[in-house]
Each structure stands twice: as structure tokens, then as C-alpha cells.
Structure 1
């Protein structure tokens, strides 16, 4: 927990700050730092998947209440993203290059799941261009963030001998 909570708190507040300064309509830099932090912290749960999924649900609930003002919507989606992260980490080792790949998969999955759920409930009309735009507008900034936060957490985990799975 020594790395998990600081990464989550920093990511959550950084996303909050960035979302105030970056226009959501005309931007290539839409932050999803909370989702990326799930990718970064997964190895620090040391295969305790139940605890990781609980943490995903808790973060999703906070995300719902603070950013989207919905209840349980993002909690369920964050748990789904946690399952995807768990499955991808089963097949891919944990290093800087693979973090970029896992983060990309996670962002794409989050955008697609969210869009299709919003289409199913009738909030949005289906338009594949909107899905593509939401994906590519999220990738660049979040991949850079994932790479940097991975390097920082990897440095601290080696320096202070914090156990994680690779």
C-alpha cells in the first residue's frame, strides 16, 4: 500500500486539475489518469485480485461522485477495466514498453465500454466517429503519463524494495 495510495491520490487530483484546464470538446489531451493508475498499481497487489477489484470499485465510486455525478456507473466500468488489466497482465510481463501497451488497451476498452453502455441506455446515438475521436483524444497524454509514472514507481519500488509482480 506504500505506493498504491500515493499513485491513486496523485492521479486522481492531477486528473481533476487537468480536466479544469483542458477543453473536452477540442482537445487531443483528455486525461484518464485514474484509469492509468489502475494499470500502474496492479503489480503491487501481488496477485490479490479480489483486493485489486475492490480498489477498482472504490476508485470508480469516487470517480462517479466527483467527476461524472453518476452513481455506480463508473464503479462497474472500473471493475470491468480491472478485470481486463488482470487478464492482460496474465499474458504480458510488466515493463515500461508493456505498460504502454496495457495502458493503450485499457484506454480503448474504457472508451468502448463507456460509449456502448451510453448508447444502450439511450443517452447517445451510435456514431463510430465519436468512438474513434474519444479514443485518439485520450491516448497521447495518458500513454506519456503511464510511462512517466511507471518509471517513477519502478524507481521507488527498487530503491525501497517494495514487492511487486513482474
Structure 2
């Protein structure tokens, strides 16, 4: 069986900075996954994610991504784009995720496939709510995750269809 992790990261106290956590909450409310799919609120765990991700074959990281596009713009990064992502330092958590992935490589447990998915933040000020531009595109981020799982041959079953 494929072991896939979908990890939402961010600080929910800082508006759009908590995007990854909010997307994971939406996934957990709206979909049922097979036991080999781990949907995780990674919050601000940082290197604590190493143990959780050890042994995974595929990873989707969901985060606020500051890439210079209008607030709410969707980013989906694969393969070589991820190296550019780390060089460009466009994620609010890039150092933490980069460290986790490098630690797994050092442990000789690299993740064979990683996708980074995010929305451009509109605000990272104190506040529990997402900015309107990000909140309006939250469903787009969820849909992008479901599409990526489909590419990998994994079905996400909407709860309303059960």
C-alpha cells in the first residue's frame, strides 16, 4: 500500500499564515481517506515532522506561499520547481520543511515524491480568520489536493456522497 502524507503547516494565530492547517481541517471535514493516507495538522511542528514523515512514499505540503502573485493565487510545485522554491525562499516556512526533507535524506529515508501546494497570503497579521482573498480560494486548494491524489491513483471520497 502507498503511504501518503498530506501535511498542513502554519500558525493559525497569524491569519493566512495558518492556511495549511485550515486546508487540512477542510479535507478532514469533507473527505474520507483510506488508512494509508495520513492527513496531518502539522501546525508549527518543524523538525518534529521528521518522525511522522519517515517511511512515507509521497508527501503533499500545504502552506502559505509568498511568491509575488495576487492574494489567493494557487501554487502547485513539483520536482525541480521545489528546488527553486527553496532557493527563492517564497514560503513562510521554507526553512522548516527544507530541514525536514534534508533530515530524512540524511537518515537515508528520502521521500520519493513531494508536492508543495499553497496560496498567496493576503495578510499575516494577528487574527484567527483567513483574509477574504485566501478564504475565497480555500476550496481551490482542497480541489488541487484531491486532483493530485487522483494523479497518484488515489480516490478521495466526499463525505456527502457516503
Specify if TM > 0.5.
no
- Which has the higher Rg, Structure 1 or Structure 2? 1
Which structure has greater strand proportion?
2
TM score, norm. by length of structure 1:
0.30
Which structure has greater helix proportion?
1
TM score, norm. by length of structure 2:
0.31
